Every structure is written in C-alpha cells, then in structure tokens.
C-alpha cells in the first residue's frame, strides 16, 4: 500500500524476464527482421550528425545486436560506444560484432554518474514499466550538456491489429483481454522528458506503413523482432484459435489495398533532451515550440 504523500508507483504491466526471453529467442535471426531497427537507427544517426558536437563516450541503451552503436561509431561523431540489452543473447551478438556490450536491464540500468556525453536508444524503451524512473537514471548518468536521443513505438503502432483483435475477441468471447502493449503518445513523451530533468526536451514522430501479403506474416515479423507480448503472468490469457482466425479475416476485409496486400502502421516517437549545463538556451513556454526535433538538436548543438 502506498503511504500518504509518497510518489505513486507506476503499474507493472510488463514482465521484464519475458521481454528478455523474447529477445533471446529472436537474437539468432534478428538480422532478417531488423528493418525497422535499421530505419530508426539511421534516423537517429542523422539527427546526431545535425549537431555541432562531437562526443567522447556514448551508450546504446537497449542495443539489440548493436547496429545503432555501430552506426553511431561510423558517423565520426562519437569516439567510443558502450552497449547494453536486457537479453543475454542480444548482448552476446553485439559483443560478437566488436562492441563493448553487456547484459543490462534497460528499466533499472546500473550506470555510473556523469559518465556519458551521449545516450542513444532505439525501439526498446516502450517495454519499460517505469519510464520516468529510467529517464531519470539516464540523465543522472550523463555529463553536463550531454545529449539523449531516443525512439520508441508510439500509440498509433499496430492500430489495425489492435482493432481487429479486440473486435474478434469481443464478438466470440464476450470480452477482450490485453493482447498488445499500451504505448505512449507524443505529448506523453515530451512531458516525461521534461519531468526527468532534461533541458530543451523535444518530441516528434514518424509514421511507417509496412505492407504484407498476409497479416500472419506481420505476426511472424513481430516475433522475429522480439516484440511479442510480454505482460505480467497474471494478465496473460491464451488467445483462442477461433479468435485469431476471425481477427485475421477482419484484417483482410478492412485493411487490404486493391492488390490484396494488408497495411500495418508503426508510429515512431522520437525524443531529444540535453543534460542540464550552465549557459544552455532557455526553453520556450509550454506549447510554443515551432521547430522539429532535428532542428532543435542542431540549434542546441551549435549554442
């Protein structure tokens, strides 16, 4: 029971052991399913190159097989990168590629204070229960005027699949269990960055539509990405085959293009923030931001 006046603890929706296990199972063939990780990693490196900074020591938090860290090193903007992932299998794959990588729970990373002047994270933090707490830990591990660039799946992700699963299960079973993770919205992330103490926090989003011959291929891709559901055990209810078949039929009916392929939407929320330091530009009043994340990063880096 929470004591009066004490901070409210966030609900623990995700089983972090299951998150790591899902990634362990995906590690051996991750290369075949990493197209979204590749896209987001490329975007983050472009944003990194928009700064006027060079960085001494970076961290790739939730690194999967380390492709973002390798891309950052290849950009010429950062001298050294460490990498960490909750999955032992993914961390081993990152080490095999030559990175300084270790197993690390992204939710409660044990990071030395003031070590990093750059922290990157791509498509990992949406599995964290206490995202405000994680962001605070990241900020505390950063040097003054260090840069955090992150990207995670946002609230519009898999909207088609959510709709069809919910309707199919309600129709057949009379109610719907949680099947896909709740995801943060753009305003949520901007507020969380500010709450975590980052200076000049900015958030924007990118929408990606992937087309499939069959919606079952989407489910295969999610498994291959290590993105299968990872709810706490008490929240898990088996998905009856009849419900899945009905959901797939609804998907075909509602979300197919004229050529028969179906659409799957992914919303990527990008966030940026600087560890506080003397002499930084002062933020605008809430709601008055008029520039993109890439432009804000560029301007801050030139200050």
Contact 156, 207 (CB under 8 A): yes
Q: Which two tokens stand for residue 37?
A: 């990780």
Contact 118, 102 (CB under 8 A): no
Kindly report the pTM of this predicted structure.
0.88
**pLDDT class of 228 with cuts at 50, 70, 90:** very high
Backbone angles phi, psi at 83, to 5 degrees: -145, 145
For residue 109, list its beta bridge partners.
none
CATH number for the domain running over 16-157+182-208+266-302? 3.40.50.150
Supply the pLDDT for residue 282. 63
The Cα 40–Cα 36 span in angstroms is 6
Supply the pLDDT for residue 6. 38
Q: For the residues 107-118, what does the mean pLDDT come to?
A: 95
Question: Strands 116-122 and 262-274: what pairing?
Answer: unpaired
Backbone angles phi, psi at 193, to 5 degrees: -60, -40
pLDDT digits (tens, 9 = 90+) for 17-52: 999 999 999 999 999 999 999 999 999 999 999 998
DSSP string of 42-53? HHHHHHHHTSS-
DSSP E strand stretches across the chain: 55-61, 78-85, 100-103, 116-122, 142-153, 199-212, 262-274
């Amino acid at each position: 029971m929470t004591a009066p006046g004490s901070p409210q603890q966030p609900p623990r929706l995700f089983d972090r052991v299951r998150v790591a296990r899902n990634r362990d199972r995906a590690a051996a063939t991750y290369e075949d399913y990493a197209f979204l990780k590749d896209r987001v990693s490329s975007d983050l490196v472009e944003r990194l190159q928009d700064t006027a900074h060079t960085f001494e020591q970076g961290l790739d938090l939730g690194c999967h097989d380390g492709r973002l860290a390798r891309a950052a090193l290849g950009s010429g903007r950062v001298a050294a990168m460490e990498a960490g992932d909750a999955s032992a299998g993914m961390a081993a794959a990152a080490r095999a590629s030559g990175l300084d990588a270790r197993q690390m729970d992204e939710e409660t990373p044990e990071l030395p204070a003031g070590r990093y002047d750059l922290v990157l994270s791509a498509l990992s933090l949406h599995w964290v229960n206490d995202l405000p707490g994680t962001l605070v830990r990241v900020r505390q591990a950063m040097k003054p005027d260090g840069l955090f660039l992150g990207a995670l799946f946002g609230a519009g992700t898999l909207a088609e699949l959510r709709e069809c699963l919910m309707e199919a299960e309600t129709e057949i079973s009379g109610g719907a269990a949680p099947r896909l993770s709740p995801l943060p919205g753009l305003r949520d992330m901007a507020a969380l960055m500010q709450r975590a103490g980052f200076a000049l926090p900015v958030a924007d989003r990118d929408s990606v539509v992937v087309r499939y011959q069959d919606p079952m291929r989407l489910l295969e891709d999610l498994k291959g990405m290590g993105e299968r559901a990872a709810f706490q055990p008490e929240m898990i209810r088996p998905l009856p085959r009849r419900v899945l078949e009905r959901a797939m039929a609804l998907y075909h009916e509602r979300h197919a293009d004229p050529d028969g392929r179906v659409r799957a939407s992914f919303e990527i929320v990008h966030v940026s923030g600087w560890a506080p330091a003397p002499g930084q530009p002062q933020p605008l009043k809430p709601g008055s931001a008029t520039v993109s994340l890439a432009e804000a990063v560029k301007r801050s880096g030139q200050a």
